[in-house]
Amino acid sequence: MTEDFGLTPEWIALVKKAEGWRPDPYLDPVGLPTIGWGHRIDSMDHPSLSDVEGETLLKEDMRKARNQALAASPILATSERRCAAIADFCYNVGPSKYQTSTLKKRVDAGLWSEAAEQNALWVHAGGPILPGLIARRAATSEWLEDG
């Protein structure tokens, strides 16, 4: 497996579109301090990012999410797109939510259609349904389904 396994061009494009680039600190939809393309920070007291710093953080965050996905569900090592789908879930929702989800159970069983259905349910951010999450989950559910 290469260093960038799972970091497919389509996943990179999806994260950039879904997260949007913000070089200055902001609060995400659930109120967490964030910067760049969805990178969590400790506080709003954070210096602005350059484009290069933002790209570096994005790749680091994506590799971390990919590693979390693979550690939780080793079956993902057989498909780069499916790995990207679950890595995106970990990137966006967090690995602890994945660990306890029905989604993980379906992935680990190799039930890809059912995994895609479970993935598509995760469209709430602290309560409301977000149209951006509907689109994001639709893309990653397709990756789960089709491999």
Q: Could you tell me if residue 2 is inside a domain?
A: no
pTM to 2 decimal places: 0.94
Q: Give the tokens for residue 91.
A: 């990137």
Query: Is 90 exceeded by the pLDDT of residue 102?
Result: yes
Q: Could you tell me if residue 39 is inside a domain?
A: yes
pLDDT of residue 126: 76
77 secondary structure, DSSP code: G
CATH number (domain holding residue 78): 1.10.530.40
Contact call for residues 72 and 104 (beta carbons, < 8 A): yes
Label residue 63 by pLDDT band (50, 70, 90). Answer: very high
Expressed in angstroms, the distance from the first to the final Cα of the chain is 17
Amino acid 118 reads: Q
Strand, helix or coil for residue 129: strand
Residues 88-92, mean pLDDT to the nearest whole number: 97
Residues 28-44, mean pLDDT to the nearest whole number: 94
**Percentage of the chain modeled with pLDDT above 70:** 100
If residue 36 lies in a helix (H) or strand (E), which one and from where to where? strand 33-36
Q: Could you tell me if residue 4 is inside a domain?
A: no
Q: Could you tell me if residue 86 is inside a domain?
A: yes
Residues 93-122, mean pLDDT to the nearest whole number: 97
Residues 9-35, mean pLDDT to the nearest whole number: 95
Q: Could you tell me if residue 1 is inside a domain?
A: no
The domain of 22 spans 9-146
pLDDT of residue 21: 97
Q: Could you tell me if residue 3 is inside a domain?
A: no
Q: Could you tell me if residue 128 is inside a domain?
A: yes
Residues 96-110, mean pLDDT to the nearest whole number: 98
pLDDT of residue 1: 78
Residues 78-107, mean pLDDT to the nearest whole number: 97
Residue matched to tokens 């498909």: 79
Q: Could you tell me if residue 83 is inside a domain?
A: yes
Distance (Å, whole) CA 95 – CA 75: 16
Q: How many structural domains compose the chain?
A: 1
Distance (Å, whole) CA 32 – CA 43: 9
